[in-house]
Amino acid sequence: MGYQLEICRPACGDCLPQSMDGYAAALVFGGPMSANDDHEDFIRAELDWIPRVIDSGKPFLGICLGAQLLSRCLGGRVAPHPEGIQEIGYFPVHPTPAGRAFFPDTMQVFQWHKEGFDLPTGAELLAEGDVYAHQAFRFGGNAYGLQFHPEVTEAINRLWINGGAHRLLQPGAQPVDQQFANRQRFDPIVDRWLDDFLAKVLAPGNDSPGAVASERDPVAIEA
C-alpha cells in the first residue's frame, strides 16, 4: 500500500517509539502470551504505550492479542471462554448494524485463540461470533480491534500447527485437514476484504503514505 514498515518486537527487547511523530499508524499483532501477563515487562510496556497511540489520533489496529491489549487499555476484561472452548480454525463472524460498512456479510475467518475480550465502555461492536461474541470493535474513530487473524498465510498456519500441536487437542479446535480445506475456500474472500478494510482504517493518514507501525511476535511497528 506504499508504506515503509518498521518492525518492533518488545518481547525480544526492542523499545517502542516514544511518540507517533513520523508514523502514519500502528498495528499490534498476536502472540502466545496473554494480555493479562502483567508480570512480563514487554506486556506492561505495550499496555502503557497503546493509549499514547490512541491519544495521538493516528490509526491503530490490534489483531488477536493486539485487540485484547486494546480492550484492556480501555477498561475491558480479557478471559478464557467460560466452557474452556478455544477457536482454532475457521469460524463465522457476523456484522452488527454498526459494522455493515466494514463487514458487508457474514464471513468465515481464521482464528487461533483461547481468550476473548469484553467490549470496552464507549466502543462500537462491529462484528460478533457464535462462540466468542466480540470479534471486531472500534473506539474513538481511530482504534480498531480484531479477534481473528486475516493476516495469517498458509505458511504461518503451518508454523503454528507445528509449534502448537497440543492446542489442536483442545475443545473447539478444528482438525488440520479441515483448516487447510477451509483456507483454500475462504482465504481469497478474506484477502479481498482485508485490502478494503485496511484502506478504511488507514484513510486518516493516507494523504501521503510514508510511515506505518505494525506488530508481530507480539509487537511490530511499521514506519
The three cell numbers locating residue 10: 518488545
Instruction: Read off the amino acid at residue 84.
Output: G
Percent of the chain residues topping a pLDDT of 90: 88
Place of cell 500500500: 1
- pLDDT score for 223: 30
Q: Judge contact between 191 and 201, C-beta under 8 A.
A: no
In a domain, residue 14? The reply is: yes
What domain range includes position 93? 4-215
pLDDT at residue 204, as a whole number:
57
Averaged pLDDT for residues 3-19? 93
Q: Is the pLDDT of residue 81 over 70?
A: yes
C-alpha distance across the termini of the chain, in Å = 13
pLDDT digits (tens, 9 = 90+) for 87-121: 999 999 999 999 999 999 999 999 999 999 999 99
Categorize the per-residue pLDDT at 13 as very low, low, confident or very high, splitting at 50, 70 and 90. very high
172: in domain:
yes
Dihedral sign, CA of 203, 154, 158, 89? Answer: positive
In a domain, 192, yes or no: yes
Q: Which three cell numbers stand for residue 109?
A: 475467518
One-letter amino acid at 53 equals V
pLDDT at residue 212, rounded to an integer: 52
Q: What is the dihedral of CA 196, 145, 201, 31, to 10 degrees?
A: -80
Instruction: Please say whether the beta carbons of 79 and 91 come within 8 A.
Output: no
**Does residue 222 fall inside a structural domain?**
no
Residue 223: inside a domain: no
Count of structural domains, the chain = 1
**Domain containing 159 — which CATH number?**
3.40.50.880
Cell numbers linked to 119: 467490549
CA 35 to chain centre: 12
| Class of residue 176 by CB neighbours under 10 A (exposed 0-12, middle 13-18, buried 19+) | middle
Q: Which residues, other chains included, contact 179 with Cβ-Cβ below 8 Å and sequence gap of 6+? A: 88, 89, 90, 110, 157, 161
Compute the CA torsion angle 105, 106, 110, 115 (nearest 10 deg).
Answer: 120
Its sign, for the CA torsion 42, 218, 27, 100, is negative
Q: Is the pTM of this model over 0.85?
A: yes
The separation between CA 219 and the C-alpha centre of its own chain, rounded to angstroms, equals 11
For the stretch 192-221, pLDDT in tens is 999 999 999 998 544 444 445 544 333 344
Q: Is 57 helix (H, G, I), strand (E, B) or coil?
A: coil
The percentage of residues in the chain with a pLDDT greater than 70, rounded to a whole number, is 91
Range of lowest pLDDT (19-23, 141-145, 213-217): 213-217
Pairing of the two strands 60-63 and 143-146:
parallel
